[in-house]
Amino acid sequence: MGAMSRAASNDVPPDILLAERDEEDEDLSVEGSSGVELDFEATPASVEAGTSVIRRFWQTLPTAPGVYRMTDRAGDVLYVGKAKSLKARVGSYIRTPGHSNRIARMIAETAAMEFVTTGTETEALLLEANLIKQLRPRYNVVLRDDKSLPFILLTADSEAPQVVKHRGARNRKGSYFGPFASVWAVNRTINALQRAFLLRSCSDSYYENRSRPCLLFQIKRCSGPCTGEIDTESYAKLAGEAKAFLSGRSSAVKGQLAEEMKRASEDLEFERAGRYRDRLAALSAIQSSQGINTQNTEEADLVAIDEQAGQFCVEVFFVRNHQNWGNRAYFPRADRSTTRAEVLAAFVAQFYDDKPPPRLVLLSEEIEECALLAAALAVKAGRKVEVSVPQRGERRLLVETALRNAKEALGRRLAETSSQMKLLASLGGAFGLPRVPRRIEVYDNSHIMGTNAVGAMIVTGPAGFMKTHYRTFNMDTDEFAPGDDFAMMNAMLRRRFARLVKEAPRPERDAAADTPPDGPAAPPVAAAPDDPDAFPAWPDLVLIDGGKGQLEAARAALAEVGATGVSLVGVAKGRDRDAGRETFFMPGQAPIRLPPRDPALYFVQRLRDEAHRFAIGAHRAKRKRELTKSPLDEIPGIGPSRKRALLHHFGTVKAIERAALDDLMRAPGVNAATARTVFDHFRGNGA
């Protein structure tokens, strides 16, 4: 990576409007780091001003490969691009006439540029993909779904390998198999592997402290290595068979099991033959539920793209070891001038930025620089990676299957979005909002007599529930009495909107536009914002689960942090908590009820139920953590390994509490300082 340069320009005329900052959305998008696009039109004068900025940088650029960034006057990155020759690529912006509207706007907003030279074009492509995911420029295709895909991990750091699902960095020693499209697919496969190979799935601490086999051994889902029900050598053989099966040698493993079953039957050991039969059935269950036929394709990702009504869907199927490990749909938001091939190329480059690419990537569209993309993926994988568009045979049929799924997923998405917009419009009309709400936030809290209190926020919009925007709030505080629902609601909204005011200040004109009019409810007057696809950071409507008390607590919280112009509605349950009898409270207005069969009423009930579900789930998870919490967790400097060493040596926490200092110092893996810390903690001598 070579030299970097940057300079700002004051030549941009004042008629260039800067885009407002917006909240991130999921999946794939072409939008700004500043978010919602305004009615910006590139005038000839503004384009010429931007061209002059680019020309000044172009004059001193080298012909080497590298990455360039275009930024606006606020310092936000507009676009990240790579080039085989920086001078030639940047020069195209000042020489080529007839730019598209999108490129013209980008040039007009450019106030500065930054450059990084690289050794090869392949390095430039990898750096470009990484920078796009980090900076999320407005005019790039940006991969917004950063949720890592799950893998299966067969550990190799203990005498009895463990099979578990895994996300994130591969720091633990072992063999990783995947990716899988969903956790459901991982769990289904692990369950089948447990039945077929009897491998343990328990944690190391649970495994090391067992004195008798657990329930999984009783139901024949584990071979019981924790208590010596199976010897180390035999268990290692089972782990080897599982690894071979996941590595693609499924036929050999099944053939070996069939031979063992036949031998046991001939020896009249019918119980042992039955166990082999059950293991074979479990393996067959894995392969029979894959959904697509991959006889001649061992390892590949099928990537297909479809476009309808200006929207895109990228469908990815994961094929490993001749098995379909699931599929996932990604929904791009791109300028209408962007072609399917451009979106697909950008998707593939960024998709494998944090994932190991397979040996084969099959695409539904021809893309530019296919060979360069394959070379970049090969650098990441450390082996050859083929990127191609199949024309015939099994591979073509597989891609057509992925393409058909992309079409169906996008069709469902468009239909759901249309129905959702109607519901949003009806809700806006029922509550007298000045425009159709695009972001609705619903707040609820959950606790048992004030213990393990959790606040929850769910978010919905034109695309339905936006689960990547859900948030939970721990209510462990001394600010209010346990069980004070009003104080909890106040604290939750105060924390949420104080951060929002700080991170995404709202323009006054937007706050004024969203302020509901006084008087009776009226239907919305504005249908949609300028950019219907962008998801805003600020809510157009906040629903509070509760009546006047909760609503007043929420109103006070927003006033305290200076969050003005937010429409608040309290949803009070009807008599006997019957659905359909809800009363709605709004500041400065009389309470209202909606007709029993009003679609807006059903919509509110659905939102409230989702908030209940999310809040109760968060509360139960917190309560479960508290129940399983160990007193050793409260001691500073005692991590999982030392905790395991102490429990393995003394057996129980009670024994650790009663242990003398000398006994603690004799425990394996515990030094004198740690022993003193533990000893002082249980005797009240800690700092």
pLDDT-derived band at 101 (thresholds 50, 70, 90) equals: confident
**Minimal CA–CA distance to 109: which of 9, 5, 36, 22?**
9
Residue type, 660: A
The confidence score (pLDDT) of residue 33 equals 33
Q: Is pLDDT of 32 > 50? A: no
User: Can you tell me the distance from the alpha carbon of 383 to that of 244, in angstroms, rounded to the nearest whole number?
Assistant: 21
Cβ proximity of 359 and 299 under 8 Å: yes
pLDDT at 185 over 90: no
> What angle (nearest 5°) sits at the alpha carbon of residue 487, between those of residues 572 and 634?
125
Q: Does the fold of domain 435-622 match that of domain 4-143?
A: no
Structure tokens given for 453: 């209190």
Whether residue 530 contacts residue 558, with contact meaning beta carbons closer than 8 Å, is answered with no
Radius of gyration of the chain (CA): 30
In whole angstroms, what is the distance from residue 601 CA to residue 619 CA? 27
Name the CATH code of domain 435-622 (choices 3.40.710.10, 3.30.420.340, 3.40.50.740, 1.10.287.110). 3.30.420.340
The predicted pLDDT at position 25 comes to 35
What number is the average pLDDT over the span 440-461? 87
Give the phi and the psi of residue 294 in degrees, each rounded to 5. Answer: -130, 50
Cβ contacts of residue 23 below 8 Å, gap of 6+?
35, 439, 469, 504, 535, 536, 537
Query: Which tokens go with 357?
Result: 């690419």
Residues 6+ apart with CB under 8 A from 186: 150, 151, 152, 165, 178, 180
Higher pLDDT, 663 or 472: 472
pLDDT(568) > 80: yes
Domain ranges within the chain, ordered by starting residue: 4-143, 151-288, 299-412, 435-622, 631-682
Specify the CATH number of the domain 631-682: 1.10.150.20
Q: Which of 32-46, 288-302, 428-442 has the highest mean pLDDT?
A: 428-442
- Dihedral of alpha carbons 163, 164, 165, 168, sign: negative
Most confident of 244-258, 292-306, 417-431, 645-659: 417-431
- Our measurement of the distance from residue 156's CA atom to the centroid of its chain's CA atoms, rounded to an integer in Å, reads 28
Question: Token pair 């997923």 is at which residue?
Answer: 409
Architecture of the 4-143 domain: 3-Layer(aba) Sandwich (3.40)
**Average confidence (pLDDT) over 472-494:** 82
pLDDT at 578 over 70: no
Q: How far is CA 607 from CA 180, 443, 494, 516, 546, in A?
A: 30, 10, 21, 21, 14
- Ranges assigned E (strand) in 264-344: 299-308, 311-320, 323-330
Average pLDDT over residues 156-163: 86
Mean pLDDT, rounded, for 446-458: 84
Question: What would the pLDDT profile of 376-404 be if each residue is shown by its tens digit?
Answer: 999 988 889 999 999 988 889 889 989 99
Please give the C-alpha separations between residue 20 and each of 33, 139, 197, 257, 346, in angstroms, as whole numbers. Answer: 9, 14, 56, 63, 25
> What pLDDT digit, counting tens, does each position of 487-519 carry?
889 889 999 999 998 887 765 445 545 554 443
Instruction: Please give the structure tokens belonging to residue 239.
Output: 């782990």
Which CATH fold would you assign to the domain 299-412? Nucleotidyltransferase; domain 5 (3.30.420)
Instruction: Give the percent of the chain with pLDDT over 90.
Output: 17
Coil vs helix vs strand at 439: coil
Q: 659 vs 290, which has greater pLDDT?
A: 659
- Give the torsion sign (CA, 285, 286, 291, 293): negative
Q: What digits encode the pLDDT tens for the residues 580-595?
A: 678 899 988 888 888 8
Task: Identify the DSSP state of 26.
Answer: S
Helix (H) or strand (E) holding 500, with range, is helix 485-503
Do the bridges between strand 163-166 and strand 151-155 make them parallel or antiparallel, or are there none, so unpaired? antiparallel
For range 218-234, the mean pLDDT: 86
pLDDT by residue (tens digit) across 593-635?
888 888 888 888 889 989 999 999 888 888 777 766 677 777 7
Q: Give Cα separations from 240 to 160, 171, 314 (angstroms).
A: 11, 21, 36
DSSP E strands, 42-178 = 66-71, 77-83, 112-117, 142-143, 151-155, 163-166, 174-177
CB 379 within 8 A of CB 121: no
Mean pLDDT, the chain, whole residue set: 79
Taking the C-alpha atoms of residue 362 and residue 358, their distance in angstroms, rounded to an integer, is 10
* pLDDT over 70 at 5, yes or no: no
Residue 65 region, left (φ>0) first, then alpha (ψ -120 to 50), else beta?
beta
DSSP conformation letters of 325-369: EEEEEE-----TTS-HHHHHHHHHHHHTTSS---SEEEESS--TT
DSSP for 441-497, written as a single string: EEEEEEEETTEEEEEEEEEEETTEE-GGG-EEEE---SSS-TT-HHHHHHHHHHHHH
Q: What is the arithmetic mean of pLDDT over 328-335?
A: 78
Is residue 194 within 8 A of residue 222, CB to CB? The reply is yes
More confident residue, 570 or 672: 570
